[in-house]
Chains A and B, each alone.
Chain A
Amino acid sequence: MIECLDIVKIYKNGDVETPVLKNVSFKINDGEFVAIMGPSGSGKSTLMHILGALDTPTSGVYKLDDQDVSKLSDDQLANIRKNKIGFVFQSFNLLSRATVIRNVSLPLIYSEVPKEERIKKAKQSLVLAGLPENRWEHLSNQLSGGQMQRVAIARALVNDPSIILADEPTGNLDTKTGEVVLATFQELNNKNHHTIVLITHELYVAQHADRIIHIQDGLIIKDEKNQNKRIVNNDLN
């Protein structure tokens, strides 16, 4: 469960202060599929960094599973990311010369999980992310964009996180491949009840979620249930 209360983030560059998040409060329950939507410069990326424990707010409280994350040190934040958060990035960020399995199991080396168990968990995640088994031993740079993003999703799932944060996951993909990736998220949310937070600037992408938080100039301007959810037929792939 995510609770944000009066989150403010101000970037300081010398004497110039730039407020990016002015006063943001919301709550996301376990098992929700939420899209955070806003134009570029709205502060949605900054919000994602705070939600992902990559950064801390200037003021306000951010609670993840009832633990206050807003005032932790760098190493404590790293522990939160290791145990509770799975990231999916726009540009995949895979290790290009490593196999799919090694990419997916990467987060587990920092949790000191034994090698056999790492491989076992990586395979389970790959099944959930829907990457065909004959691709598992490929090097990640031999895959197509959609397959790469599935590897990234599997990597986000491997530590069994409380939330999956997807930052523009379809931004580098064509519409059809993007649909497949979004379908994967829907399926993870429906069947496995993963909490998914999708950050995007496209309404079309946001409409795949159950709830849309609109953000603009550092403020939430609308937080509503998605009335016309797009359901993707997962047989597309």
Chain B
Amino acid sequence: MKISDIFEETYFSLMSNKVRTGLTMLGIVIGIGSVIGMVSIGQGAQGNIESRIQSIGSNLILIMPGAQRGVGMEVSSGRGSAQTLTLDDASAIASSVSGVEAVAPEISRRYQVTAAGTNTNVSVVGTVSSYPQVRNVAIDQGSFITDQSVQDFSKVAVLGPSARDDLFGTGAQAIGQMIKINKVDFKVVGITQAKGGNGFGSQDDMIFVPLTSAQRYLEGDTYVTTISVQAQSQNVMSDVQQQITSLLLERHHISDPTLADFNVLNQSDIVAAASSVTSTFTILLGAIAGISLLVGGIGIMNMMLTTVTERTREIGLRKAVGAKSKDINVQFLTESVALTFMGGVFGFILGWVLAFLVTQFAGITTQISLSSVILAFVVSAGIGIVFGYYPAKRAASLNPIEALRYE
């Protein structure tokens, strides 16, 4: 039997009962559509989270305070409680660790901030001039904190766009205005560019002041809460991380690394951790959608078995006029694969529309990757073979004499 004839026979069989063909295909359409739609949501979330993490800086290493322990004491006061990181640690890192591009120590805490008649609770970050470079912050108006203002303990502030909107009104001119942080007057000298993102930890909802001013006027202390280090390249990151750890252990006179009073975090570790969460999420969504695909496949098998029974006499006739078992087998298998493959095509369109609608109306980023499309087609054709195999085999094994007699 020629391939063109097989396709023609398949076309005639599927077209001879359009409603049933359509309904059977619907199972696969919904299955493939939901797999593509769901996985696109998962992959969109993954891409979104990764780009957010990338946006906090490139080749970033963060040094955070760890748990403080007194000598010979068993009581831990909890992570992040140590107040042992200092500006000197930051300078030491900058001067003696190789492969470091820039270092930005910071001290941050939330304060109630007031301007003319308005007030807001916002994170105030005391930092130095290298902060924008390390943490990917761009200046929209005015300038960032300069080395001079750090040296001079200047009472100047740079506002994030959200903080500016809250204090002065959306898009208002704020440069030159005064704000009060913890009852101390600061003069606004710059506005950072919006980075997007929302909720906790958004860099738009921050106020930046010189590190020294924050320590003297706000904290009354000399420790820093985070040291951000930018490595020169991706390749040297783990080496830099290693050097920083040894340097700080030495400076803090700690011999046992497990008792370190600081944590050194690598940006790629954070990305990896977040990715593993989102890929689990993607797999979960895909698996749920996969169940509907399985149900669709069983629908195909059910329909094909019904068809074989219904067309028993036709099968008998085909065998009587010279069809071999193989011809019958191929014909029925082609029918089921054609059904699932077309289901896959329509399912892809459905999944694409679903992803589009989710992005439009729910505001969730979606991403349809080539791999999920290829997977959908391979899976749909595979389902046709798997669930069409048994009915086709049954059709092929019919005895022509019995089949012709079948009522």
Chain A positions near chain B (C-beta within 8 angstroms): 49, 52, 54-55, 74-75, 78-79, 81-83, 87, 89, 91, 93, 95, 97-98, 102, 106-107, 109-112, 115, 155, 159
8 closest pairs, A vs B, by CB?
A: A82-B322, A107-B321, A97-B16, A110-B322, A93-B317, A109-B5, A78-B324, A81-B322
Q: Does B2 contact A (CB under 8 A)?
A: yes
A109 with B2: in contact, given A55-B401, A93-B404, A97-B16 (CB under 8 Å)?
Answer: yes
Q: Which of B316, B323, B327 has the most CB of A within 10 A?
A: B323
A110 with B316: in contact, given A75-B324, A81-B322, A155-B321 (CB under 8 Å)?
Answer: no
A89 to B320, CA, bound (A): 11
Q: Which of B318, B321, B324, B400 has the most CB of A within 10 A?
A: B321
- Residue of chain B at shortest CB distance from A81: B322
Q: Are A112 and B1 in contact (CB under 8 A)?
A: yes
Interface of B is mostly: helix
Q: Which of B318, B326, B401 contacts A106 (CB 8 A)?
A: B318
Q: Does B165 contact A (CB under 8 A)?
A: no
A155 to B321, CA, bound (A): 9
A194 to B: closest C-beta gap in Å: 17
Sample of 19 A–B contacts (CB below 8 Å)? A54-B319, A82-B321, A83-B322, A87-B320, A87-B321, A89-B317, A93-B316, A93-B320, A97-B12, A98-B12, A106-B317, A106-B321, A107-B322, A110-B321, A110-B322, A115-B4, A155-B321, A159-B321, A159-B322
Q: Which of B2, B4, B316 has the most CB of A within 10 A?
A: B2
Contacts of A79 in B (CB 8 A): 322, 324
Q: Does B314 contact A (CB under 8 A)?
A: yes
A155 to B313, CA, bound (A): 16
Q: Which of B9, B320, B325 contacts A52 (CB 8 A)?
A: B320
Q: Are A93 and B313 in contact (CB under 8 A)?
A: yes
Contacts of A106 in B (CB 8 A): 317-318, 321
Q: Are B401 and A49 in contact (CB under 8 A)?
A: yes
Contacts of B9 in A (CB 8 A): 109
Contacts of B313 in A (CB 8 A): 91, 93
A81 with B2: in contact, given A54-B401, A55-B401, A74-B325 (CB under 8 Å)?
Answer: no
